[in-house]
Amino acid sequence: MLTLEGLRVVQDDFQLGADWSVGAGERVAVIGPSGAGKSTLLGAIAGFVPLTSGAIRWQGARIDGLAPGARPLSMLFQDQNLFPHLSVAQNLGLGLDPSLRRVDWAAVETALERVGLAGLGARRPGQLSGGQASRAALARALLRARPVLLLDEPFAALGPALKAEMLALVEELAGAALVLMVTHDPTDAQRFAGRTVLVADGVAAPPVETAALFANPPAALAAYLG
Amino acid sequence: MARGAGALTARITAAALAFVTLGPLAVVMAQAGSGGIGAADWAALRFTLWQAAWSAVASVVCAVPLARALARRRFAGRSLLISALGAPFLLPVIVAVLGLLAVFGRAGVVNVGLRALGLPEVSIFGLGGVVLAHVFLNMPLATRMILQGWQAVPGERLRLAESLGFGPREIWRHIEVPMLRDVLPGALLAVFAICLTSFAVVLVLGGGPGATTVELAIYQAVRFEFDLGKAALLAVLQVLACGVAVGLAGLFTVPGGFGAGLDRAVGLPQPGGWRRVCDAVVIALAAGFIAGPLLAVVWRGAPGLLALPGSVWPALAASVLIAVLAAPLAVGGALALALGRAQGLRLVEPVAMLPMAGSSLVLGTGLFLLVFPWVSPATVALPVTVLVTAVMALPFAYRILLPEARALVADYGRLAASLGLQGWPALRLLVVPRLRRALGFALGLVAALAVGDLGVIALFAAERGATLPLVIQRLMGAYRMEAAAGAALLLVAAAFAVFWICDRWGRGHADA
């Protein structure tokens, strides 16, 4: 269980609070207007945004003092998920060993096969399409096998069909991992997430059933959906 | 957020740099002052400021028409000429002086011509010669800085000017003058600061009561009068002058003047008529002014190559050794500081600029005072020269690396952190591959400067253990001009070779 315990982030005139838990294996969407703090919430959980107060726990143990790489999670960013000067296989290998010295390259090839990139390990990221690059980043998260997966709109630049395909792939590969996914598209939330967190007016509200949320949207969400 | 091994390395580097810069300064301060400041010391300070001011103004006055001509004309060889403007920065100062002597000296082309016409000769020694050499060395740098100003004029503004029917006069008044007002203070101060600590030029072309700078007076106090208290006092004066100049420069944003795209299609109008002729004349004069002394060195040095004195070869080896040691030291330190700054360590910035408040001979004097009671200075000449050269070059390397380090952290900092990529693996897999081009350029620049540097070594070296620039200066002092020119040719080849090798390494595998 991931627990945000009285979490508060204050930066100049921006603030964000959250105080709730989500269970292992859940699929949770994070939705809300631009600038409300969706990415800040994920950044705080991942360790890129310092907490002003509060705590973050995974299975009861505090993780907010850990360096980003030591937290029990993987994160896919909006862009720059792959190092352009390393091969696709090396980019995946970083998920197993950041020094690339003790990498099980057979496991890397298996991960590439599972995301449909078999045989493309020797390429550079620049030689991949946008969809293929997303698959490679996902394959690395798969190799890291952390119990939490944070998606900060990594598929936002893909077309609707490709995005749906990627969400299906995440659903298939994430397995028992908890997935928190930022999106600005209600259909993503409805298709993918059992529960949804609404971020608005300085608060990340506790997750509620996605279907119920959209059936009876609170004022902030109604304004956002227009 | 700065944490982890990178931030620690940056802090340690900053502390080490502060120690090797401020330590000698503290020694100098402690030892200064027994005699008080004499009339000759004031004269040296006055001449230092005077020649630096003249050099800055003359360099910029020459650079403005040249930059303007280069900005608005397109001709065959233009990009070659712009690249060649970077060459004087790599050119060993002693070689430039030798070339200028060949053109403007008593037996030089210019005076031979003047004599043939029955006109009075010009002298290259004293204030005029010092300023001439400083213009030769710094006008290209000023030109590149000002040219960047011209190229940064937004195309939209030029289109607007054209749609309003502006002629060259209106463009000058409404676009070019405001741009120059922003760019010129930075260029003036950059050249002024460089000339404040100029040593090799003044050593050869200056001297005497009327043309001695503080830097030269320090050298004379240590080498000839052996008055270490006076040297320390002069070093304090030098630090005050440099500190004020660097502080002033900090008020203006000084443009880099090194790389950046110089071939962006600028829609500057190309007025015809007499303006076209003027631009052509300016470009031809500048090309001649830069190429003349260089060709003179080649022409005079080629025969000298066949009769090089034996002292040249160990000196060449010493110079290359200094470069090989100093370049990684300076660039490694600059990289640690730049990465620390890019991750948010603010204290790094003033520390990285600290060496600019001193000078090669100021640091040298402090180190001389430190080691003198214990060992003969000549025995530590090489390590001291490596250290001082690296410290003095570090701010240049830092300026080159900082934008690249910032981009690296902005683009890939989070990804690297989320994967736990840090320490040596991060250096090997991320920093060196991504920054390779900038690292190669910085290494090449520092190595070339180190090969050609004539500064602190002059304080420490005995008859043996000299570097090649020092040997050339001694040959010139002995009026063995042909041998000096031959050795100079060798030095130029060495300086450009080390630059080329490092820069080439940086450009290799540019496939990402």
CATH number of the domain bearing residue A38: 3.40.50.300
For residue A77, tell me if it sits in a domain: no
| CA distance linking residue B280 with residue B285, whole number of Å | 9
Helices (H), chain A: 38-46, 88-93, 105-114, 130-144, 160-174, 186-192, 210-215, 219-225
Which of A11, A99, A128 should be substituted to probe chain B, the one whose Cβ sees the most B Cβ atoms within 10 Å? A99
For residue A45, tell me if it sits in a domain: yes
Query: Which chain A residues are within 8 Å of B412, Cβ to Cβ?
Result: 80, 83
User: Which of B20, B8, B9, B4 has the alpha carbon at shortest distance from B389?
Assistant: B20
Strand-strand pairing, A195-200 and A203-204 = antiparallel
| CA distance linking residue B447 with residue B458, whole number of Å | 19
CB A72 within 8 A of CB A24: no
Residue with tokens 């009876």: A216
Q: Which distant-in-sequence residues (6+ apart) come within 8 Å of B102 by Cβ?
A: B108, B109, B293, B296, B297, B299, B300, B485
Q: Which distant-in-sequence residues (6+ apart) come within 8 Å of B238 by Cβ?
A: B48, B196, B197, B214, B215, B218, B358, B359, B361, B362
Q: Is B165 helix (H, G, I), strand (E, B) or coil?
A: coil
Phi, psi of A146 (to 5 degrees): -90, 150
Record: contact A83-B418, CB cut-off 8 A: no
For residue A7, tell me if it sits in a domain: yes
Record: contact A85-B512, CB cut-off 8 A: yes
Query: Which chain A residues are within 8 Å of B2, Cβ to Cβ?
Result: none
Query: Which chain B residues are within 8 Å of A68, Cβ to Cβ?
Result: 414, 417-418, 420
Same domain, A158 and A133: no
| CA distance linking residue A38 with residue B285, whole number of Å | 61
* Domain region containing A40: 2-72+146-225
Query: Is B420 at the interface with chain A, CB within 8 A?
Result: yes
**What fold does the segment set B1-34+308-512 form as a domain?**
MetI-like fold (1.10.3720)
Residue B69 is predicted with a pLDDT of 92
Own/partner contacts of B309-316, CB < 8 Å, gap of 24 or more, are: B309/B471, B309/B475, B309/B480, B309/B483, B309/B487, B311/B466, B311/B471, B312/B468, B312/B471, B312/B487, B312/B490, B314/B464, B315/B466, B315/B467, B315/B468, B315/B470, B315/B471, B315/B487, B316/B468, B316/B490, B316/B491, B316/B494
Among A144, A167, A182, the domain-final residue is: A144
User: Which of B6, B11, B13 has the alpha carbon at shortest distance from B413?
Assistant: B6
Record: contact A99-B422, CB cut-off 8 A: no
Same domain, A133 and A92: yes
Q: Which distant-in-sequence residues (6+ apart) come within 8 Å of B147 by Cβ?
A: B67, B70, B71, B82, B262
User: Which of A199, A182, A176 has the alpha carbon at shortest distance from A59?
Assistant: A176
Segment-wise mean pLDDT, segments of 10 residues, chain B, 512 residues: 69 92 87 75 92 96 93 85 83 92 87 88 89 94 88 78 81 87 88 90 87 92 86 89 82 49 54 86 90 89 86 94 96 95 88 88 89 86 93 92 92 92 91 93 94 89 85 90 91 94 82 46
The domain tally of chain A equals 2
Query: Which chain B residues are within 8 Å of A94, Cβ to Cβ?
Result: 419, 421, 429
Query: Is B414 at the interface with chain A, CB within 8 A?
Result: yes
pTM: 0.85
CB B383 within 8 A of CB B326: no
Same domain, A68 and A10: yes
Record: contact A124-B511, CB cut-off 8 A: yes
Same domain, A153 and A131: no
Q: Mark the ranges of chain A whose per-residue pLDDT is less than 50.
A: none
Among A122, A144, A166, the domain-final residue is: A144
The CB-side HSE value for A141 (13 A sphere, CA atoms) comes to 28
Instruction: Quote the tokens at residue B12.
Output: 């340690």
Which of B415, B430, B511 is closest, CB to CB, to A77?
B415
Q: Where are the domains positioned within chain B?
A: 1-34+308-512, 37-218+248-302
Query: Is B155 at the interface with chain A, CB within 8 A?
Result: no
Which helix (H) or strand (E) is B474 found in, with range? helix B468-477
Pick the CATH number of B37-218+248-302 from 1.10.3720.10, 2.102.10.10, 1.10.260.40, 3.40.50.300: 1.10.3720.10
Residue B260 is predicted with a pLDDT of 37
| CA distance linking residue B367 with residue B359, whole number of Å | 12
Instruction: Quote the tokens at residue B245.
Output: 């100049």
Among A104, A122, A144, the domain-final residue is: A144
Query: Is B370 at the interface with chain A, CB within 8 A?
Result: no
Which of B408, B409, B418, B424 should be substituted to probe chain A, the one whose Cβ sees the most A Cβ atoms within 10 Å? B418
Which of B418, B425, B430 is closest, CB to CB, to A68?
B418
Strand-strand pairing, A195-200 and A148-152 = unpaired
Record: contact B512-A124, CB cut-off 8 A: yes
Query: Is B181 at the interface with chain A, CB within 8 A?
Result: no
Residue with tokens 């380090």: B405
| ipTM (interface pTM) | 0.85
Same domain, A130 and A196: no
